[in-house]
Every structure is written in structure tokens, then in C-alpha cells.
Amino acid sequence: MSTAIVEQDVVAETTGEAPIQSYLVTFIIRRFDPETDSEPRWVDYDVEMYPTDRVLDALHKIKWEVDGSLTFRRSCAHGICGSDAMRINGRNRLACKTLIKDLDISKPIYVEAIKGLPLEKDLVVDMEPFFASYREVQPFLIANSKPEAGKERIQSIVDREIFDDTTKCILCAACTSSCPVFWTDGQYFGPAAIVNAHRFIFDSRDDAATTRLDILNDKEGVWRCRTTFNCTEACPRGIEVTKAIAEVKQAVMRGGR
């Protein structure tokens, strides 16, 4: 009997509760090794999992106990770094936030890399095109005047609330790589870049809103958005991405925030 099961049984004996049952779950992972594969291939793994385990736990178990060559990104494992975004059963999610109990384990769980970015190996994609678009919108405070010595730039609660939602972005690329336009048009800025532009366009302390709006008022900017809401549904932080893009469109038409 494994240590995990023994621990569950001890808890059950002391609390009177039934032990948590584990299940054999099949994961089908889209593997790709550029040194040996000409095309990606699907490989299945059967893993013993508890309902409260996460998909990330399953990937760890496969890598540490079954196949050490499995490659994926992860860091904090708590939904903050955004590095483990991937497609799970056809939807963009963070592996560290997707619980086994929230998936239908009577069927195989399909895991693959996010779409629209160059595949490097297994579940790892080249994020450079994504970050290039992010950098292009100048995602940092640009203020022409300096605050008084020893003073901060003051902002009201009302002004802060205007862009509070878009400060939550963790740059996981889940929204951008869920966008059908991004899949077919490598030049489109993508939702994440627009969300981060929004964060500063509507910041009352910033003086470069017009510059960012000019950048996004382009055929590959906000006007490429088709309002499918894929991005909003994919965001692990609950950002209303489609709404933010619509607000940037309105600001472009107004000529400023």
C-alpha cells in the first residue's frame, strides 16, 4: 500500500470518515521531440490519481515515475506565474488549477500544447512572438511630469477601478492562444497584448494613451478581434478580456480615453 493511501486510512480512522478513493485515470498527451519526430504523436499514460489532485500532479507523476523525457513548463504551481498554460480536453487552462474532480475521468483526458505559437517540444511552445507583441504596446507607465519630491502619483479609487481588472494578467498566453484569429494570423497582437495596453491606456497617471491607441489602431490591432469570447472564457484570472478589447476600440474611435 502506498504512503498516500496509508495516510488517508489513518485520517479515516481518526475522523470516522471514509478514505478518499483514488482512480486510474488515462491521460493522452500530444508528444513531440524535434530531434526524432517529424510530426507530433499522441501517447497514453494510466495514472493513479485522487479527485483533489491537479493535472499538474499527473504530469509530475508521469515525468518522475514513468517517462522522464516528458517536457512541460511550470514554476509556482499556484496559478500565479502562468507558465503551465496548456490545452486540456480542448480548452486552454492552467494545469496547476485544473482539478481531476472537475474533469470527466470516465473518458481519457487529452493534454496538448497551446495553439498558435511555435511548438518546441511536447507541451512547450516558443513564447517569444507572444512577448514581442506584449512589448510593442509599451506595457509600462509613461509619465511626462515627475511627482513632487518624496510624493507619490495620487490616484482616486474611482480612477483605479477603471483598469483594475486588466492589472490581473499573468501573461500565461491562455487568452491569446485561444483566439481563432491568432491561430491563422501570426501578425495579430492578440488579446493579452491589448489587455496590457488597456491597463495603461486607462491609467490616469499615464501620458502615453494616444501612442498606444495609435499602435493598436491597425489592421493587426484591435480591429482584428471578432468578439468570439474565447479569450474571456480561457482566462484563468477571470479577466473580462473581450470587454477590455471593446473599451480600447471605443477609445480609438473617441481619439483618447
For 6-35, what is each residue's pLDDT tens digit? 344 444 555 566 678 999 999 999 999 999
User: Can you read off the three cell numbers belonging to residue 246?
Assistant: 471593446
Question: From 3.10.350.10, 3.10.20.30, 3.30.70.260, 3.90.180.10, which CATH number describes the 16-125 domain?
Answer: 3.10.20.30
Give the amino acid at 217.
Answer: N
In three-state form (DSSP H/G/I as H, E/B as E, the rest C), the secondary structure along 35-98 is CCCCCCEEEEEEEEECCCCEHHHHHHHHHHHHCCCCCCCCCCCCCCCCCCEEEECCEEEECCCC
Q: Where are the domains of the chain?
A: 16-125, 128-152+159-254
Is 245's pLDDT higher than 90? yes
Percentage, residues of the chain above pLDDT 70 = 93
Tell me the mean pLDDT in the region 167-184.
96
% of the chain surpassing 90 pLDDT: 84
Whether the model pTM is above 0.85: yes
Of residues 216, 219, 205, the one with CA closest to residue 247? 216
pLDDT in tens, 115-128: 999 999 999 999 99
pLDDT in the model for residue 6: 38
Superfamily of domain 128-152+159-254: Alpha-helical ferredoxin (1.10.1060.10)
Helix 241-254 and helix 209-216, axial crossing angle in degrees, nearest 10: 100
CA distances to 1, 58, 134, 244, 249 from 257, rounded to whole Å, are 63, 46, 20, 13, 10
What 3-state class would DSSP assign to 20?
coil
Least Cα distance to 191 among 239, 238, 237, 242 occurs for: 242
Note the pLDDT of residue 147.
84
**Unique residue bearing C-alpha cell 500565461:** 172
Give yes or no for a contact between 202 and 163, defined as CB atoms under 8 angstroms apart: yes
Tens-place pLDDT, residues 53-110: 999 999 999 999 999 999 999 999 999 999 999 999 999 999 999 999 999 999 999 9
Dihedral through CA 141, CA 143, CA 149, CA 153, nearest 10? -60
Average pLDDT, the chain: 92
Single out the residue of 25, 13, 91 nearest to residue 52, CA to CA. 25
Supply φ then ψ for residue 54, to 5 degrees: -110, 165
Which of 231, 247, 244 lies closest to 85, judged by CA? 231
